[in-house]
Structure 1
Amino acid sequence: MNEEHLSQADNVPNLMSISQEHCEGFGCRGGGQDQVNGSEHDQEEPQDFLVSVMIRRQHMEAPKNTSSIPVSEFLLICFPNYQTWQHWLSLPLSLLFLLAMGANATLLITIRMEASLHEPMYYLLSLLSLLDIVLCLTVIPKVLAIFWFDNKSISFSACFLQMFIMNSFLTMESCTFMVMAYDRYVAICKPLQYPSIITDQFVARAAIFVATRNGILTMPIPILSSQLRYCASVIKNCICTNMSVSKLSCDDITFNQLYQFVIGWTLLGSDLILIILSYSFILKAVLRIKAEGAVAKALGTCSSHFILILFFSTVLLVLVITNLARERIPPDVPILLNILHHLIPPALNPIVYGVRTREIKQGIWNLLRRLKEVLLIFWFNMKPISFVGCFLQMFIMNTFLPMESSTFLVMAYDRYVAICHPLRYPSIITEQFVINAAIFIVLRNLLATLPTPVLAARLNYCTSNVVENCICANISVAKLSCGDIHLNKLYQFVSVWCLLGSDLVLILLSYCFILRVVMSQQSGGAVTKALSTCGSHLILILFFYTLLLVFIFTNKAGKKIPSEVPILLNVLHHLIPPALNPIVYGVRTQEIKQGIIKLLKH
């Protein structure tokens, strides 16, 4: 036996007295005494094996009987301490995800369609938006699938692919900020050389450098993790981060941790140092400018970039600090911050540039004007609409909108009876009640809104036949009339506010009674359960009336905002609630969720 094994064996008391039970746990055969009395080879082999086993056991954090298992998939457990709050958290995350995807897509389309934005600086901004879209699509859909459909499993290969994309694209984003900082440095410190330095060829080479450097250097992180042997398959995280996955391994993960630490700080740290150096030279050059207003103008060109770097670095530093202090704070906090770091910067990047860059802002307005034309053309140049077709559309819109509001009212009454009078619920909310409620909804709103298109149809139209809207709204059509339209406006105002206003008041009253009953209960769990039954309904009401109020306020603002904004909001109000209603109820209602899963299986 070599000296190293002997020295280690001396530090292991009673090594040869290991019990037969423990030896069998490691797959040994024969007793210790038989092995000692055997041949030299027979003596050395069991001893070497047992010594190596003991040394390995000293270095392993797992229990004594831990052994590796074949892992084909992992289970992602989001927020272990707050499982019941996942559905509520999915709402703001969904809105941020839609904002991030929509804003970045709008920015990419604007830069692509506007010839004035075909410049190197905006190409770099397009690269940043593209990276943001990929990061969001890699992380957020899986998180929402866990929240909505309890789809916690992720395959072995998909987990490490997600790990690679997150690590590589995060450092690519940091590197892009560094290239953009160099762009601002050349623009301010060497303005005459800017056209010859920052060219399209420079942007192409910079993009290749960003992708190659970060792709190659971060590639070993998922490779090292995939080579480990795993003793468990439950990841206490919403995403496959390197440390969360590596912790499940039976092997020593020191090298994995060291490599990620060194590479992470080398890539992100070097980018940050170069960004700070660029801005140091910029500040030095700006402070030498004597002309009044030149300093503010020069710094103004860097403000958007500086704000984005501040967002990116701040969220990243907070995430690092919370991970270092994870023993002092709840484990759910770093998990949430990790998700937000893949969501907030992508959502804010295009908004900050869109708000603070005049050229992009103008490009977006031009895009909205083109969008208006697209909506009017409806893809097939179908601008004309018949007289009858226009007023039929007006009638259906005016009728079915308050019908939806009345349906929310009936649903609020259903929740009121279920919580405040649970014993009487089966006798009150019957199939006959639902039929009577449906008849009431149809007749009430049909009779109340029918005069709106009738009054508009009786007007004399003698000016233009061009309706400046995507749909035949009452006021848009009535404005084309030569006659007095005060009665039309008054009737629509009174009928809409009577119908929608009365519904909203009764809904609020229902929830006041529900809240009073719920608060009188002593059990905290009963309160949570009672309120959770109303969660889906409250979310849908919030969407419906918020969009409606925003649309009304934009119409009242008149010439203070572009005319395209109310048109777009009017279209969205007929699109977003119908799209979200089934999703919200499907996510938050267990029976519907199970029904959808069964349907997908079939």
Structure 2
Amino acid sequence: MLIANHSSFMAFTLMGIPGLESQHLWLSLPFSSMLLIILIGNGAILFLVATEPTLHTPMYLLLALLMVVDLISSLTLLPKLLCLFWFNDRDIAINACLTQMFFIHGASVVRSALLVVMAYDRFVAVCEPLRYNTILSHSLVGRLGLLALAKGVILVLPMPLLLQRLTFCQVVIPHTYCDHMAVVKMACGHTRPNRIYGLFVILLVVGLDLLLIGYSYGLILQAVIRLSSREATFKALNTCSAHIFVILITYIPALFSSLTHRIGRNIPPHAHILLDNLYLLLPSMLNPIIYGIKMKEIRDKVVKCMSRGTV
């Protein structure tokens, strides 16, 4: 089906997971379970941070911002995905498709920026513990949060804007959501600017953010090595452990997803799609679990709330 320009049709059609269309109903079970876990986990962390004055510290305020971003990303992706799986609702309007693309990719950029800020938070906590509250004031945390948001908007907004200039030869997107590269592949016009800009964003976000995170943890490691007490060393490493786990589950799937799109031509299409969904949903699902397990303050508040509920 040849399309003259993007305004000559009203909607794209999402295929879902190519090759596994007959299994969509069964696949909806783990995805709906993910949605439930994400809503409960992230909602619980947000509720605790909002209602407990003792958690109104820079570390937990940054954690709350991360939970908000995770919720936005998941709620942008999962409702349409589940409608596709449950009701075979495949059509998505052009503007809705571009909006979904903006929020999904924008949330990924903001999440990455927040992880950089949280790495700086851990650096100050370990290397400058006596000046922690002075350096990381609430106003600074707010400004850093706004900077992370601005980074996401500025870097991702050109993606849908550049797509609006293209003509499309196909309207059936072999994906569960409006991924940038998946939509670019539907175009029959000159897509090199779109591909170059998408790669630029990935290199800038993943490359620069990982460099800054690595630099922060390099300084933390130097400080930990200088500690004479084994107990102090363990405490310092434990302070960073939750953040390290979150970094791993955020960046490793994202890097694999990006590489398979560009060089993994022999990888089955359904593996591409499942990996794309995994890198978006896995952090949102596991972040509250990791922080809930690793952070004593959150564990104590959860136990306290549960004991109140059983009284």
Shorter-chain-normalised TM-score: which range? over 0.9
Residue 175 of structure 1 is aligned with which of 113, 118, 123? 113
Residue among 67, 77, 99 paired with 1:161: 99
Query: What's 2:35 paired with?
Result: 97
Aligned partner letter, 1:320: S
CA contact (8 A) 2:18 2:270 kept: yes
For the Cα contact (< 8 Å) 1:164–1:222, is it kept in 2? yes
Separation (CA, whole Å) in 2 of partners of 1:283 and 1:203: 24
User: SS of the residue aligned with 2:92?
Assistant: strand
Q: Which residue of 2 aligns with 1:359?
A: 297
- 1:8-87 matches, within 5 Å, as 68-69=4-5, 70-87=8-25
Aligned partner of residue 177 in structure 2, secondary structure: coil
AA of the residue aligned to 1:125: L
The equivalent of 2:26 in structure 1 is 88
Does residue 166 of structure 2 align to residue 228 of structure 1?
Answer: yes
For residues 309 and 172 of structure 2, the distance between their equivalents in structure 1, rounded to whole angstroms, comes to 47
CA distance in 1 between counterparts of 2:267 and 2:9 reads 30
Aligned mate of 1:305, from 243, 248, 252: 243
* Secondary structure at the counterpart of residue 19 of structure 2: coil
Q: Does 1:134 align with 2:85?
A: no
Question: 1:63-462 maps to which residues of 2 (within 5 A)?
Answer: 68-69=4-5, 70-372=8-310
Q: Distance in 1 between matches of 2:155 and 2:235?
A: 39
How far apart are 1:67 and its partner, in Å? Answer: 5.5
Structure-2 change in CA distance of 1:66 and 1:157 (3 Å) = closer
Query: CA separation in 1, counterparts of 2:292 and 2:194?
Result: 40
1:317 shift after superposition: 1.8
Amino acid at match of 2:107: F
The SS at the match of 1:154 is strand
The 3 A distance-change label for structure 1 pair 325 and 250 is: closer
Aligned length: 309
SS in 2 for 1:116: helix
**Ranges in structure 1 where 5+ consecutive residues have no aligned partner:** 1-64, 373-467, 469-602
Q: CA deviation at 1:126?
A: 0.1
Q: Which has the higher contact order (CA 8 A, sep 6+)?
A: 2
User: Is the Cα contact below 8 Å between 1:111 and 1:363 reproduced in 2?
Assistant: no
Contact 2:13 2:172 in 1 (8 A): yes
Percentage of matched positions with identical amino acids: 36
Change over 3 Å in CA distance of 1:234–1:67 after alignment to 2:
closer
Q: After superposition, give the CA deviation of every residue in 1:24-51 in whole Å (9 maximum; x if it has no partner).
A: xxxxxxxxxxxxxxxxxxxxxxxxxxxx
8 A contact 2:3–2:167 mirrored in 1: no
CA distance in 1, matches of 2:261, 2:25: 25
**What code does the residue aligned with 1:184 have?**
R
For structure 2, which runs of at least 5 residues remain unmatched after alignment?
Answer: none
Query: Is the CA contact 1:160–1:226 (under 8 Å) kept in the aligned structure 2?
Result: no
The CA RMSD measured in Å over matched residues stands at: 1.4
Residue type at the aligned position of 1:271: D
TM-score (norm 1): 0.50
Q: Secondary structure at the match of 2:230?
A: coil
Check whether the contact 1:108–1:126 (CA below 8 A) recurs between aligned residues. yes
Shift of 1:368: 2.2
Deviation at 1:319?
Answer: 1.2
How far the C-alpha of 1:250 sits from its partner, in A, is 2.3
Q: Is the 8 A contact 1:68 1:250 kept in 2?
A: no
Deviates more, 1:150-159 or 1:235-244: 235-244
Does the Cα contact within 8 Å between 1:217 and 1:263 map onto a contact in 2?
yes
Which consecutive aligned stretches of 4+ in structure 1 deviate over 4 angstroms post-superposition?
none
Deviation at 1:219, TM superposition (A): 0.6
Superposition deviation, residue 369 in structure 1: 3.5
State how far apart, in whole Å, the 2-side matches of 1:272 and 1:149 are. Answer: 40
1:552-601 CA deviation, whole Å, 9 max, x = no partner? xxxxxxxxxxxxxxxxxxxxxxxxxxxxxxxxxxxxxxxxxxxxxxxxxx
- Cα distance in structure 2, aligned partners of 1:358 and 1:193: 22
Report the CA distance between 1:287 and its aligned residue.
0.1
Amino acid at match of 1:290: S
Per the alignment, in what secondary structure is the counterpart of residue 229 of structure 1?
coil
Specify the SS of the correspondent of 1:352.
Answer: helix
Q: Which amino acid aligns with 2:278?
A: L
Shift of 1:251: 1.0
Letter in 1 for 2:284: P
CA deviations on 1:287-339 (whole Å, 9 max, x unpaired) are 01112311111110000000100111111122123223432111111101111
Q: For 1:430-476, what per-residue CA distance to the aligned partner results, in whole angstroms no more than 9, with x for missing partners?
A: xxxxxxxxxxxxxxxxxxxxxxxxxxxxxxxxxxxxxx6xxxxxxxx
Deviations 1:475-500 (A, max 9, x none): xxxxxxxxxxxxxxxxxxxxxxxxxx
Distance 1:243 1:226 in 2: 14
- How far the C-alpha of 1:66 sits from its partner, in A, is 5.2
Q: 1:222 to 1:371 in 2, by over 3 A?
A: farther
1:403-444 CA-partner distances (Å, limit 9, x unpaired) = xxxxxxxxxxxxxxxxxxxxxxxxxxxxxxxxxxxxxxxxxx
SS in 2 for 1:75: strand
Q: 1:356 to 1:226 in 2, by over 3 A?
A: same
8 A Cα contact 2:109 2:151, kept in partner: no
CA distance in 1, matches of 2:9, 2:279: 29
Q: Do the aligned residues in 1 keep the contact of 2:206 with 2:251 (CA within 8 Å)?
A: no
Q: Which has the larger radius of gyration?
A: 1
